[in-house]
Structure 1
Amino acid sequence: MTGRAQFIPALTKPYTYFSFYKEWKEKEGFWIRFIAILAVSGLLHALSFFAAYPSFKTISFVESAKLSGAEQELLRFFISLAGGAWGIIVPFLLVQAGAMFLYVFFRDVGYKALFYVMSVVYVLFLIGLAFELPFQFVTGAEEVVQPLGFGFAGVLFFKHGFWQELLNSINLFTVWGSVLIYFALRQLSFKAKSYCLAITIGGSVFWIILYSLYAALVSGQLV
């Protein structure tokens, strides 16, 4: 049986969609859609870097260069271009890392299916990035609080650091992604429901903590 890889049904009805997905021997259209993900990711990251340019201007070597207006715009263009290139690379890194992590626990599902699941989850990341873009254009900040989550609580109750990053990482899209992974694993794996739930929750917590530590260290605000 041949089926078509689709992201919207996988996002909105993961339990039903992946019950059919496991029956398909061939999945048409996945790579076309993955290329579309790369293109959208590149565009959104380029816009993010463009919007965050005011924060880049405060870097010491940029300030000391005393660039003219035209040079500033050229630098902004190159920064946006670098952001777009990074936006094309990062899906491979994140999707593959997530798929390899799950493959350790769900070899019965297979790496290709897990790669597809994580590709759908990455679409949620892009939607979250799109929600943040207007705030970046208004503030000119490199990073902003995710409006659909607990990020504002982190800003209110914590001055800097790990806890602020952690709360900002707990939002509608990370929860939605975890639910999607759980329902996908329920349908694709022969393992028990409790096992799927434990790995989903444990894996989500692990990656959120790891990212929060990384973001806090990069910003120099671990505590």
Structure 2
Amino acid sequence: MYTARADRYENSFHPDYTKRFMAIADIQAGERVLVLACGTGLEIFIATEQVGEEGEIVGVDITDAMLAKARQKKEQLKPDAKTFDVILCSSAFVLFDNPESAVVSWRNFLKPVGRLLIDITHEDNLKVGLLLERAAKRLGLKFPSNRTWIKDENSFKQILERAGYQVEKVELMDRLTGQGDTYYSADQIEEHFERITGTPLTVNLATEEFRDKTRALFREEWEKDAVNGMILNVDAVYLYVASRT
């Protein structure tokens, strides 16, 4: 999914959003920062200026194309066995199959006073993709994103607290793409189905068989959420700032 997006990733809302994310991260000089799912390095290159010569940034990503893009701008840093002052994960957490297991394991890399910053989508963000995910899961199909567990801003707060974190702040990052919230009407169902099954999100899924199986279920999921035939797409994510307890 992200291999196909690597070259276009920085020609989107992501650079502007990253500046907002990093302003809240408030990285200090000399800190050691771990950037998970670092993508093309947007957070890394801002953090590098913030930590200065005495600090260190380690970026980890699983997509070769994303790492290649980052290496075009700066030599990749290698991780070692030390712990971190800050762990960042932006625009990627909903790709993890087991959210609780992920944050439990990451806690081991934080210093006792270390902080964790993660964003997750609002429960009504990227709504069309969420409806397709729900349709796919009804068929027992594995989907690239894992968002059905997000019911409201407390969903992830509770996961963090169970994992041994203290949630310091939850920030609603609105106007994520700059478009604002939008409504979609029932007569757009087919249009949105065709669009979402043709995006990088579903590039490895969207065979004709997949479309045939999910088309009717997608409509059912739309109708479940619709109010007077309309569904709301919220242009926002939640940003969580947490510390080890």
Structure 1 or 2: more strand by fraction: 2
Question: What is the TM-score normalised by the length of structure 2?
Answer: 0.28
Structure 1 or 2: more helix by fraction: 1
Question: What is the TM-score normalised by the length of structure 1?
Answer: 0.29
